[in-house]
Structure 1
Amino acid sequence: MLSILMPTDFSENSMNAIKYALEFFKYQKTDFYFMHAYRNEFYDDEQLVSREVFDTVLESVKKQSKSNMDELLQKVEAIATNTRFNYHGISAFNTLVEEANQISDEHNIDLIVMGTKGKSDDRSIVFGSQTFQVLKYVQCPVLAIPTNYTNTQPKRILFPTNYLIPYKRRELKLLSVLAKSYRSTIDVLYVSKSKGLSMRQEDNQSFIKDTLEGNTLNFIQERNKSVSETIKAHLKDNSVDLLTMVNTQHSFLEDMLFPSTIDKVSLGLDIPLLAMQNTRRY
């Protein structure tokens, strides 16, 4: 059984990600944990003008969060009456990152699914601030769904790698399960300046082959100085439906996202991103 955490701000973008997940995982036995962390909303509340009204405003924000969560669960149960699914709602006076990490540990979460943007829906950026924080700080794989994206049957998945990372079996198994559900082809892309692989790279490639056994795999090597441009070209030329990247130090995803500010992310993704956080989880 999969355990999936879905942070929500009750926006349309968030609801689109929820509908995507309900359809995408319809063949899997799944525990869905819908979570709203309202600490920041509380401190930004215009009624919080003094310490004297602290408890009153907190209770009001808490009740609104609980009400919104109950309404969301009703919508979800109406959308997907799937006997394979179990639904749980969590409203918490906490930050998004802290609550997501806590729930991931307590419930052994396999995957976090959320929209690339929330209420702001700023078209000039790829990832909203909340999604960016989760990608950067939460120690769990993340599937980020673009606004209005509806294709829940990925036929081709792109997995760029430099073969230098000692992958976690659990995260690769997650990718294997997702791909097998739709008989997806996985393109394992290595962008390099040289032809051969080191012994470490050969061992990591063998680990990928063994762990993704049973999936359709294409091992591709491209000689190019620009990793990001090669990835973009492959996405464009091969009708890729899902991009998966490992998020760790010195990885392609870190190079693309984290040295830049949010509004300078240049990848321009219009397909879902599966970020494997490469962390030890049990």
Structure 2
Amino acid sequence: MKQILIPTDFSLNAWQAVCYAQELFKDQECVFHLLNTYTPAIVSSRFMAQHRDEKQHQKGSSNYSEAGLKELVERIQRNGPNPKHYFETYSSFSLLTDEVNNFVEHENIDLIIMGSKGMTDGNHIYMGKNTVRLIKTIKNCPLLAVPRDIDFFQPNEISFSTDFNMFYTHSELEPLIEMAQTFNATIRIVHIQDRIKPLTEIQRFNLGMLRKYLNEIEHYVHTVSEVKSISNTLLAFNKELDIHLLAMLNYRNSYVDSITQEPIVNKKTFEAQVPLMVIPEMSILYKNPKKKNQKDIMTKQHVN
């Protein structure tokens, strides 16, 4: 049974991620772990009275978090229950990155799915700060970022962007291979260059190994020229070939690095983005045995 973690801040984009996750895995048995984290307001004074105010805020945040998760599950059930899907809710007084890493370690999570932007992110950015932080910190679990206001399409066409400078192991590519096999998808390997030039010997070797790993999956290699930025180039490619999912491996100086470090861009440029699956380097080589988190500060509910 798949274990899917969905962090939520109860925003519209977070709800979109829940709907996308349910539709993506509608034919598979899954446990969806719905996680909301909260932290106290930052106070500058050291006086005890204000410390008590902080505790009051924590209690209020806890109540808000748990009520929000309960309402989220009720909304899911109203939207149409799936007998193959189970939901567990978690309310945690913690930083999001810390709690997600803890979940991945202790709950044997297969995939993280979340909105590409959160409640506090402006409309003029294409990827929110929490999503970027998780992309940069999660080391052993793929993450799927779902844009707001997109219609669901089964990922029959998946683009995988690479510069061929990195040697990929079969374990690292497993999430991509599994997604393609599940949906009988074609993989479009996209190599972006600022100017067209022959591949180096190392790049040719890495391409050969990549094609060997994807041998049983229909795949094609596309070399495209960079237009303004990597993000713009990928957007144009995805639109032209009607791509339903963009996948990347995250390592130092990768395309993921380029996208998450690009200057803030115009909203309209990215409003049609497809979901982005980021696979950490060496992601699937290590997974701990499943065991429950014993943190006292976390509350959990289970819903069928």
What TM-score, normalized by structure 1, do the two folds share? Answer: 0.86
* 2:9 corresponds to: 9
* 2:133 corresponds to: 133
Superposed, 1:160-179 pairs within 5 Å as 160-179=161-180
Equivalent AA in structure 2 for residue 129 of structure 1:
K
Superposed, 1:126-275 pairs within 5 Å as 126-139=126-139, 140-192=141-193, 193-198=196-201, 200-222=202-224, 228=230, 230-258=233-261, 260=262, 263-264=264-265, 268=270, 270-275=273-278
Distance 1:6 1:125 in 2: 21
Distance 2:183 2:60 in 1: 44
CA shift in 2, pair 1:133/1:49, >3 Å: farther
* Residue 98 of structure 1: how far off its partner (Å): 0.7
Distance 1:104 1:163 in 2: 28
Distance 2:171 2:122 in 1: 34
Equivalent AA in structure 1 for residue 243 of structure 2:
V
Distance 2:228 2:56 in 1: 55
Asked if 1:43 is matched to 2:41, the reply is: yes
Query: Which sits farther off after the overlay, 94-103 or 167-176?
Result: 167-176
* Residue 80 of structure 1: how far off its partner (Å): 4.8
Conserved in 2, the CA contact under 8 Å of 1:155 and 1:184?
yes
- What's the Cα RMSD here? 2.7
Equivalent AA in structure 1 for residue 33 of structure 2:
Y
CA shift in 2, pair 1:213/1:31, >3 Å: farther
Distance 1:150 1:49 in 2: 50
Distance 2:74 2:197 in 1: 55
Conserved in 1, the CA contact under 8 Å of 2:121 and 2:129?
no
* Residue 154 of structure 1: how far off its partner (Å): 2.2
User: What secondary structure is seen at the aligned counterpart in 2 of 1:83?
Assistant: coil
Where does structure 1 lack aligned partners over 5 or more consecutive residues? none
- Superposed CA offset, 1:3-62 (max 9, x none): 2111000112111110011001112232211100111xx3269xx981123333222211
Query: Which sits farther off after the overlay, 4-13 or 237-246?
Result: 237-246
CA shift in 2, pair 1:170/1:109, >3 Å: farther
Where does structure 2 lack aligned partners over 5 or more consecutive residues? 288-304
Equivalent AA in structure 2 for residue 212 of structure 1:
L
User: What secondary structure is seen at the aligned counterpart in 1 of 2:17?
Assistant: helix
Distance 2:168 2:3 in 1: 21
Conserved in 1, the CA contact under 8 Å of 2:35 and 2:89?
yes
CA shift in 2, pair 1:134/1:237, >3 Å: same
* Residue 126 of structure 1: how far off its partner (Å): 0.4
Equivalent AA in structure 1 for residue 132 of structure 2:
F
Conserved in 1, the CA contact under 8 Å of 2:38 and 2:94?
yes
* 1:92 corresponds to: 92
Query: Which sits farther off after the overlay, 186-195 or 264-273?
Result: 264-273
* 1:75 corresponds to: 75
CA shift in 2, pair 1:265/1:4, >3 Å: farther
User: What secondary structure is seen at the aligned counterpart in 2 of 1:158?
Assistant: strand
Asked if 1:30 is matched to 2:30, the reply is: yes
Overall identity of the aligned pairs, in %: 26
Distance 1:44 1:131 in 2: 22
* 1:111 corresponds to: 111
* 2:60 corresponds to: 60
What TM-score, normalized by structure 2, do the two folds share? Answer: 0.80
Query: Which sits farther off after the overlay, 168-177 or 143-152?
Result: 168-177
* Residue 145 of structure 1: how far off its partner (Å): 0.8
Q: Which has the higher contact order (CA 8 A, sep 6+)?
A: 2
* Residue 212 of structure 1: how far off its partner (Å): 3.0
- Superposed CA offset, 1:41-98 (max 9, x none): x3269xx981123333222211221121122223224435333322211110001111
User: What secondary structure is seen at the aligned counterpart in 2 of 1:108?
Assistant: coil
- Superposed CA offset, 1:232-263 (max 9, x none): 442232222221112210111212322x45x3
Distance 1:272 1:49 in 2: 46
* Residue 121 of structure 1: how far off its partner (Å): 5.3
Distance 1:3 1:36 in 2: 17
- Superposed CA offset, 1:135-172 (max 9, x none): 22222321111111122312322111122223243442
